[in-house]
Amino acid sequence: MNRRFISLWFRHLTTDWFTLRREELKDVPFILTTPVRGRNTITAANLLAEQQGITVGMAAADARAIIPDLEVIDDIPGQDYKLLKALGEWCIRYTPMIAIDMPNGLLLDITGCAHLWGGEREYLKDIVTRLRSKGYDVRGAMADTVGTAWGVARFAKAKPIIEPDGQLNALLSLPPAALRLDPIIQDRLQKLGFYQIKSFIGLGRSVLRRRFGQEFLTRLDQALGNEDEPLELIQPIEPYTERLPCLEPIRTATGIQIAIQKLLERLCKRLEGESKGVRTAVLKCYRVDGEVIQKSIGTNQPSYYVDHLFKLFELQITSIEPRLGIELFTLEAPKVEDADPEQEILWGADSCGLEDTSLAELLDRLANKIGAGNIHRYLPQERYWPEHSVKLAMSLKDRATTTWRMDRPRPSLLLNHPERIEAAFLTPDNPPMWFIYKGERHNVKKANDAERIEPEWWLKDVPHRDYYIVEDEKGRRYWLFRSGHHDAENKPEWYIHGFFA
């Protein structure tokens, strides 16, 4: 299969953008200018100004001499790139491989895409028609090479679609500028009487290299397809990506469900063949109005199990607003990991190991519903201080290196840091009679004996703690401790560290 490319040329890119935002500019000639070496130079002119002889590079003062009522607007630096990037992202609905062609074009690698629109003619017509309906003066051409498509879009007056392997015939009648040559080389060719490509294409390569340099031959080879021309894509394609164009815009939740199911089936079949599984996946829905809706999911373990991944996306379908309809769905897996085939078998309904995977499935669904940052798993750690005796697990695969302490009761809710409280006591070695926490007084009715916890040996000058489980008059239980030794000169300091259920 021949590779196929489209070149889109926005003839009045920035002036069209200004016209779309200022309706009064639609019927008046105007120019965009920027200071260059102390004078305002024209960087763009709308069609009405061009028809009266205004050209890019001309001084604004000279242009006003030709058109006295000419509207002059300050150009916005970098606006052309921003516009092309936005238009390129809109065109991703037609192909994922799009590159910006400064200062006023886009390049599309459409290999294998046109048949989804009924053929190349319908494909190109749909792109150009819809861009024009948005208010942009655009021309497009299609060919086997970027160079030929670029030249035909800008200089050819015949058909815009060049048949496969037809780039040579398409270029012969075009001027040398169609090869994207340096202006100095173009001037040299014109002085030698080479006004069309056919007038010099038959000359020997050594002659052309000697007279016009290697860059000249490179551009010629790229246009003819003798040398590859890589594109710098707007959005680099993820290695694991699936696309689903829609012949008719999808407007219902059922249609969205079917689209997600099909995309997952394709992606997971490929992942299964490579023994890999999804860790994160991103669904993008391209709407008819140009908006892109994005939804993502994550898993605790790599998985290519379609039903499980679909349930994660199913939680978010209600938040997808199709409006006028969705015309393209894409599914990307930016993060995949090696999957254990035996582990994947456990996802089946008949699995004898369902208990293990049902926990992972539950956590995945909760994480994608309330946010992964709201779910934590902790493991025991060999430290004495209670707040240091647990550590956060990064995944379900993490295993404990020690056992949980079970010989003494521990609160169901442990504060990250102990909080200071006011307490009254008979003697420093007894539990408090009452304490005040967050402005509320608690009268202690019951208390157990003290549990002393010493600091680690490497912590210098850190006092020990005497912990008490106390119960107030309402039956609520708390974990309090007294810090360090006390005497007549040093008043005991009391802290609350946790709550029992």
Mean pLDDT along residues 373-400: 76
**Residue 406, in any domain of the structure:** no
253 and 368: one domain? yes
First to last CA, the chain: 69
290 and 425: one domain? no
124 and 224: one domain? yes
425 and 483: one domain? yes
**Residue 404, in any domain of the structure:** no
**Residue 201, in any domain of the structure:** yes
Distance between CA 144 and CA 163 in Å, rounded?
Answer: 8
pLDDT at 359 over 80: no
**Residue 323, in any domain of the structure:** yes
Residues recorded for the chain: 501
**Residue 342, in any domain of the structure:** yes
Q: Using only the alpha carbons of the chain, give its radius of gyration.
A: 35
pLDDT at 370 over 60: yes
DSSP lists the bridge partners of residue 435 as 423, 442
What's phi and psi for 147, nearest 5 deg? -60, -45
316 and 432: one domain? no
328 and 199: one domain? no
124 and 248: one domain? no
pTM of structure: 0.66
pLDDT at 426 over 90: no
pLDDT at 352 over 50: no
pLDDT tens digits, one per residue of 114-132? 988 889 999 999 999 999 9
pLDDT tens digits, one per residue of 84-103? 999 999 999 899 899 999 99
442 and 481: one domain? yes
210 and 247: one domain? no
Mean pLDDT along residues 185-212: 92
Domain end call among 342, 372, 402? 372
**Residue 245, in any domain of the structure:** yes
302 and 173: one domain? no
pLDDT at 422 over 50: yes
Range of the domain at 156: 1-233
Domain end call among 372, 393, 425? 372
Burial class (CB in 10 A: 0-12, 13-18, 19+), 447: middle
DSSP lists the bridge partners of residue 74 as 33
Which comes out higher in pLDDT, residue 366 or 68? 68
265 and 204: one domain? no
**Residue 395, in any domain of the structure:** no
274 and 292: one domain? yes
- How many domains is the chain built from? 3
Domain end call among 210, 233, 256? 233
The CATH number of whichever domain residue 201 belongs to comes to 3.30.70.270
Mean pLDDT along residues 197-219: 92
**Residue 386, in any domain of the structure:** no
Mean pLDDT along residues 159-175: 94
